[in-house]
Amino acid sequence: MVQLYGRNRWCPQGSHPGHGHDGEGDLKLEVFRDGDFREPFNISDSDSGGILTNESLNADVIAGETIYVRVSPSFGGGPRVSYRVASGLIRN
């Protein structure tokens, strides 16, 4: 299992809306398996901590598997937001 956590890179402490660098819009993470880009096998639009650009998810993967992560607006377009995604392995 892999854990992914994404956040607006200008808010390293998970700042509160309105401080000026929170970005606009609502983002989501989508995870795709190699060779199958039609439908993501996992999606996060959890807005962690009440911040629209903070997302996290756990995805079941096998050793050596390639996955792709897409960061996109939840609803239509929006301004470009500088975003950072971190990952970590969770052993079963």
Write out pLDDT tens, residues 22-50.
455 678 889 999 988 999 999 988 888 88
Residue 20 predicted with pLDDT over 80? no
pLDDT for 52-74, tens place per residue? 778 888 888 888 889 999 888 77
> What pLDDT is stored for residue 56 in this prediction?
87
For the chain, domain boundaries:
2-87
Q: How much is the pLDDT for 7?
A: 73
What's the rounded Cα separation, in Å, for the pair 27 and 76?
A: 10
Average pLDDT over residues 69-80: 74
pLDDT of residue 81: 66
pLDDT exceeds cutoff 70 at 2: yes
Give exposure, 59-80, as e/b (b: 16+ Cβ within 10 Å): bebeeeeebebeeeeeeeeeee
- The pLDDT value given to residue 11: 53
